[in-house]
């Protein structure tokens, strides 16, 4: 399985215990002089010995990344670049991200700009990264104006998703990731949605492979988010606004879940999504407990400010991702007034509906 881009195809390896073979997998592509390893602090705490043993045989320089969106800043990016220069990283080295979305975004961005670009490997250790963010080459840091506004497209040499890392994730991280899993089921993969409706326990190797295959198919057809790839932003337009409003204390996946609930409701209100499908979507999200209880949604004025800066917007409106059915998707250009009017009604009823 992989991403069959014309100029830069790369594999996605998914399995149990496969991180121990990461060097042999890497050497199918390159034989680096060294590795600049950016590893999440929690991964280092729980799996540090496993990671170090797997990378024996290749010179490596390690930098730990504090968990949370606060690390996706220009200040911490400069700290990373300083470390790369201190380690004498050159273009024959490979940058390796060992962590979740924050570590992957940061490592990918640093690799894309250091000496005009060095290769990066995404070793995803969270469910969210394995099913979504590690695939596709989107890298970014946050800005005071919003999330992921400073970034590049920089495809990895490969993606390695070892589901054994998931054993040390807390329940909030799993819940957060399930919003992205459900997203694929809603917008493009009806068999995945049916599988999720059967309930836990899930086979995580199967689940990650299904989602990774969906993401890879979209990226291969639209690498730079010119059209089709926008469909993967289902729930993200409002989700990013909620993250910013919370000062990035609300986990990404849970913010996206609220955004998906809003987008599904908006799809129904516009006559696209049948009532039965809306109920199935909301029932699945409720069963997975991904809609935050007691969340005070920000006022429409605050959401409007975030929408104005969102990458999915334009002077002529907002490219809003809607769904006409489970397994289907539609991108429509809506006016800001229309979106905000719908949001006010959604926000008023949000806490009452849970």
Q: For the domain that residue 122 is a member of, what is the CATH number?
A: 3.40.50.1970
Residues 6+ apart with CB under 8 A from 259: 234, 235, 236, 237, 238, 239, 240, 242
If one counts the domains in the chain, the total is 2
Instruction: Note whether 281 and 326 are same-domain residues.
Output: yes
Domain end marker among 153, 168, 183: 168
Report residue 56 as tokens: 């024996």
The predicted-structure confidence for 161-203, as pLDDT tens digits, reads as follows 999 999 999 998 999 899 999 999 999 999 999 999 998 899 9
121-152 pLDDT tens trace: 999 999 999 999 999 999 999 888 878 889 99
CB atoms within 10 A of CB 293: 7
Inform me whether the pLDDT recorded for 258 exceeds 90. Answer: yes
- Are both 113 and 59 inside the same structural domain? yes
Is the same domain home to 133 and 182? Answer: no
Average pLDDT over residues 69-78: 92
Strand partners, 139: 152
Q: Are residues 159 and 250 in the same domain?
A: no
Read off the pLDDT of each residue in 289-304 and give the average, rounded to a whole number: 85
212 falls within a domain: no
The tokens 């459900």 sit on which residue?
182
Q: How far apart are CA 250 and CA 294, in angstroms?
A: 12
Mean per-residue pLDDT, 154-167: 97
State yes or no: pLDDT of 268 exceeds 90. yes
Same domain, yes or no: 130 and 187 = no
pLDDT over 70 for what percent of the chain?
A: 97
Tell whether 316 is covered by a domain. Answer: yes
pLDDT at 315: 54
Q: What is the DSSP string of 44-102?
A: HHHHHHHHHHHTTTS-EEEEEE-SSGGGSSHHHHHHHHHHHHHTT--TTSEEEEEESHH
The pLDDT tens digits for 6-35 are 988 999 999 999 999 999 999 999 999 999
Of residues 261, 273, 277, 279, the one with CA closest to residue 350: 261
> Is the confidence at residue 307, as pLDDT, over 90?
no
Catalogue the active-site residues.
116, 138, 180, 215, 225, 229, 233, 236, 240, 252
Model confidence band, residue 351 (pLDDT cutoffs 50, 70, 90): low
Residue 105 lies in a domain: yes
User: 284 and 164 in one domain?
Assistant: no
What residue numbers bound the domain in which 237 lies?
Answer: 172-200+226-353
Do 189 and 264 lie in a common domain? yes
- In the predicted structure, residue 352 carries a pLDDT above the cut 70: no
Q: Whole-number mean pLDDT of the chain? A: 91
Say if 8 falls within a structural domain. yes
pLDDT of residue 316: 61
Beta bridge partners of 71: none
Has residue 217 been placed in a domain? no
Per-residue pLDDT at 354: 55
Give the global pTM: 0.88
Do residues 75 and 137 both lie within one domain?
Answer: yes
CA–CA separation, 207 and 180 (whole Å): 11
20 plus 164 within the same structural domain: yes
149 within some domain: yes
Q: What is the per-residue pLDDT for 199? A: 87
Judge whether residue 90 has pLDDT over 70.
yes
- Which residues partner with 3 through β-bridges? 10
Which residue in the block uniquely carries the two structure tokens 């059209």?
227
pLDDT at 353 over 70: no
* Residue 40 belongs to a domain: yes
* Domain finish residue from 122, 147, 168: 168
Same domain, 125 and 182: no
For residues 235-259, b (16+ Cβ closer than 10 Å) or e, as one string?
bbbbbbbbbbbbebebbbbbbbbbb
Q: In this structure, is residue 158 part of a structural domain? A: yes
Residue 188's contacts (CB-CB under 8 Å, 6 or more residues apart) are 214, 218, 231, 327, 328, 329
pLDDT of residue 314: 53
Which CATH number is 309's domain given? Answer: 1.20.1090.10
In this prediction, residue 250 has a pLDDT band, given cuts at 50, 70 and 90, of confident
Burial class of residue 56, CB neighbours in 10 A (0-12, 13-18, 19+): exposed
Tell whether 105 and 44 lie within a shared domain.
yes
Residue 310: pLDDT band (50, 70, 90) is low
- Can you tell me the mean pLDDT for 58-72? 93
pLDDT band at 248 (very low <50, low <70, confident <90, very high): confident
Asked whether residue 158 falls in the same domain as residue 46, the answer is: yes
């Amino acid at each position: 399985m992989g991403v069959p881009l014309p100029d830069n195809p790369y594999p996605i390896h998914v399995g149990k215990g496969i991180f121990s073979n990461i060097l042999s997998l890497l050497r199918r592509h390159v034989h680096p002089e060294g590795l600049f390893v950016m590893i999440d602090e929690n991964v280092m705490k729980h799996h540090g010995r496993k990671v170090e043993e797997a990378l024996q045989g290749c010179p490596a320089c390690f930098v730990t990344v504090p968990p949370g969106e606060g690390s996706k800043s220009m200040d911490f990016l400069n700290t990373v670049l300083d470390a790369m220069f201190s380690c004498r990283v050159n273009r024959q080295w490979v940058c390796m991200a060992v962590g979740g979305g924050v570590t992957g975004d940061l490592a990918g961005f640093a690799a894309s700009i250091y000496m005009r670009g060095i290769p990066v490997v995404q070793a995803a250790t969270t469910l969210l990264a394995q099913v979504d963010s590690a695939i596709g080459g989107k890298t970014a840091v946050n800005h005071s104006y919003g999330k992921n506004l400073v970034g590049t497209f920089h495809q990895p040499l490969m993606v390695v998703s070892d589901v054994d890392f998931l054993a040390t994730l807390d329940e909030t991280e799993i819940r957060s990731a399930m919003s992205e899993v459900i997203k694929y089921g809603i917008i493009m993969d009806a068999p995945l949605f049916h599988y999720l409706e059967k309930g836990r326990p899930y086979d995580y190797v199967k689940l990650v492979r299904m989602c990774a295959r969906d993401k890879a198919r979209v990226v291969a057809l639209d690498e730079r988010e010119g059209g089709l790839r926008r469909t993967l932003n289902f729930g993200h337009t409002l989700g990013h606004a909620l993250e910013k409003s919370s000062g990035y204390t609300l986990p990404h996946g849970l913010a996206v879940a609220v955004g998906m609930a809003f987008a599904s409701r908006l799809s129904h209100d516009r006559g696209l999504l049948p009532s039965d499908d809306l109920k199935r979507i909301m029932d699945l999200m409720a069963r997975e407990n991904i809609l935050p209880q007691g969340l005070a949604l920000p006022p429409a004025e605050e959401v409007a400010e975030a929408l104005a800066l969102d990458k999915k917007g334009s002077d002529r409106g907002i490219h809003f991702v809607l769904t006409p059915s489970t397994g289907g998707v539609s991108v429509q250009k809506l006016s800001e007034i229309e979106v905000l009017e719908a949001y006010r009604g959604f926000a008023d009823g949000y806490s009452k509906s849970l």
